[in-house]
Amino acid sequence: MFFEPETWVAVAFLILMVVFAYLGVFKKAVAALDHRADRIKAELDDATRLRQEAAKVLADYKARSASAEREAADIIANARSEAERIATEAKAKMEDFVARRTKTAESKIALAEAQALADVRAAAAEAAVQAASTILSQSVKGQVADDLLAKGITEVRQKLN
């Protein structure tokens, strides 16, 4: 058993382990592994923190985006209602303007008709007075003719005007 290679490999391994223990290699290896584990844990904690911050930023972005969309929809709705209100006001003003212009035109037409009727009546009265004056002056002579003529002209003018 003393000359077997496996025995010498086992003895060499044990001696190597004793030397490593004496030199503190195990403590350094454990410390290095602990240090690496701490570093990995810190990186995982940092990654978790960054993920939480990213989730918070994403939620904030979504909230702001939704708020902006609501605000845009409100602005569009207000603009539409304002445009409808302005269109309604413009239509009402236009209808009022047309009604006033129509009323003014109708009153001018009525005034012109009344003036034309008055002018026709005045012309007819003047023609009737002239005709009566001519007829009476030819048929009646003297002072009686002048009195009758003046009285007739006055009556005709009163009745026709």
The 10s digit of each residue's pLDDT in 38-50 is: 999 999 999 999 9
What is the value of pTM for the model shown? 0.43
The pLDDT value recorded for residue 142 is: 66
DSSP string, 32-59: HHHHHHHHHHHHHHHHHHHHHHHHHHHH
User: Over the stretch 57-106, which tens digit does the pLDDT of each residue have?
Assistant: 999 999 999 999 999 999 999 999 999 999 999 999 999 999 999 999 99
HSE, CB side, 13 Å, CA atoms: give it for residue 160: 19
Q: Where are the domains of the chain?
A: 5-160
